[in-house]
Amino acid sequence: MFILGIETSCDETAVGIVDHNGRQIANIVASQIGIHSSHGGIVPEIASRQHILDIREVTLSALKFGNIKLRDLSHIAVTYGPGLAGSLIVGLNFAKGLACSLGIPLIGVNHLEGHIYAAWINNDYFSPMPFQQIVDEQNKIMCLIVSGGHTEMVIMKGYGQFQIIGETRDDAVGEAFDKVARVLGLKYPGGPEIQKASNFSSKEIEPFPRSWINGTHDFSFSGIKTSVINRSKIFGFYPPNNRVLPDKDIQANFSKAFQDSVVDVLVKKTVNAAISYECKGIILVGGVAANTALRENLIALSPIPVSIPPIDLCTDNGAMIAMAGLYNLQLKKFSEMSLDVIPNLRIS
């Protein structure tokens, strides 16, 4: 059994293949970062048009890499939401065409479930928690999904059973990284740039505020962004169009202070929630899970096991969609050919 997973919800045209054991056979990603970076963010129409140009080649590359023929495929899994409507439509229609012509089932996948199931790829015994093969009410897992569009704390109570217990009230954490990077004169996407710059921090500056929103598991990142902007004005490098670029020292020290603040809140709130819900493990996924400080701090602070996929499975990819497809098919969740995209799809 080989499941092909297609992901085009945002600015990556991605196709992956997993086998019936959840082993990754291929995972090819065509990133559009170079195309969008000069705009300082993603331009939806450019993104969907680029998906049209890339999707066939990316699919053929994945098949070639895995040494798989089209006729070897048993299922086509595809992201149908959440994401940019125009981008989702390209992947979904391509997937329908493939499933139809090969006469095999179509499996629609929630992008956020895809991020979560990335933690299952390539794991022995098919589980991200070495001791825990079962996920049920007694063996819950806390999932922190952190990406450019999402910041969600989700409890997994079983395969295909998710409950959002906290989410951002304004900016997604990746969005905050991207916006703050722009203020600091760093490139898009901002997350990796802020991480790189913070490694060169020479001194600790006054910390940026932490938004705890006590009594809830929700997050907020717009306050810290405003705080970075206000302090930037004092140094004279805001607004960005005035382009007095901050020097490398300021860039590094601001980046470190910003990253420290965000990581502190994400880690402490996630660990507290996991303990209060008596979870058996924590999974960290999504593009921002590529952040080294976040990975290291969560592992250091959590009293329960933490599972974090390798970086290429944290950022958007097709293998995670194929893996979610594998679980959906075990739950007999197949999709009709009339499946439509749902840009604001939630996880439940």
Interface contacts to ligand KG4, rule CB under 6 A: 10, 147-149, 174, 177-178, 189-192, 195, 286-288, 290-291, 315-316
Minimum distance of ligand KG4 from residue 326's CB (angstroms): 20
Per partner kind, with CB cut-offs from 5 to 8 A, the member of ligand KG4, Zn ion, none near residue 189 is ligand KG4
Per partner kind, with CB cut-offs from 5 to 8 A, the member of Zn ion, ligand KG4, none near residue 24 is none
**Are 164 and 152 spatial neighbours (Cβ–Cβ below 8 Å)?**
yes
Minimum distance of ligand KG4 from residue 149's CB (angstroms): 4
Closer residue to Zn ion, CB minimum distance, 147 or 328 = 147
189 preceded by cis ω (within 30°)? Answer: yes
Q: Which pairing describes strands 306-307 and 151-158: parallel, antiparallel, or unpaired? A: unpaired
Residues lying near Zn ion in the complex (CB under 5 A) are found at 147, 316
Per partner kind, with CB cut-offs from 5 to 8 A, the member of Zn ion, ligand KG4, none near residue 177 is ligand KG4
Minimum distance of Zn ion from residue 220's CB (angstroms): 20
Per partner kind, with CB cut-offs from 5 to 8 A, the member of Zn ion, ligand KG4, none near residue 309 is none
Closer residue to ligand KG4, CB minimum distance, 11 or 157 = 11
Question: Which of 285, 289, 284 is closest to 271 using CA atoms?
Answer: 284
Minimum distance of ligand KG4 from residue 189's CB (angstroms): 4
Minimum distance of ligand KG4 from residue 228's CB (angstroms): 15
Per partner kind, with CB cut-offs from 5 to 8 A, the member of ligand KG4, Zn ion, none near residue 195 is ligand KG4
Closer residue to ligand KG4, CB minimum distance, 114 or 139 = 114
Closer residue to Zn ion, CB minimum distance, 147 or 255 = 147
Closer residue to Zn ion, CB minimum distance, 42 or 183 = 42
For 263, the token pair is 């990581």
Closer residue to ligand KG4, CB minimum distance, 2 or 148 = 148
Give me the sign of the Cα torsion angle 341, 87, 12, 270.
Answer: negative
Minimum distance of ligand KG4 from residue 55's CB (angstroms): 17
What single-letter amino acid sits at 5?
Answer: G
Closer residue to Zn ion, CB minimum distance, 232 or 315 = 315
Per partner kind, with CB cut-offs from 5 to 8 A, the member of Zn ion, ligand KG4, none near residue 335 is none
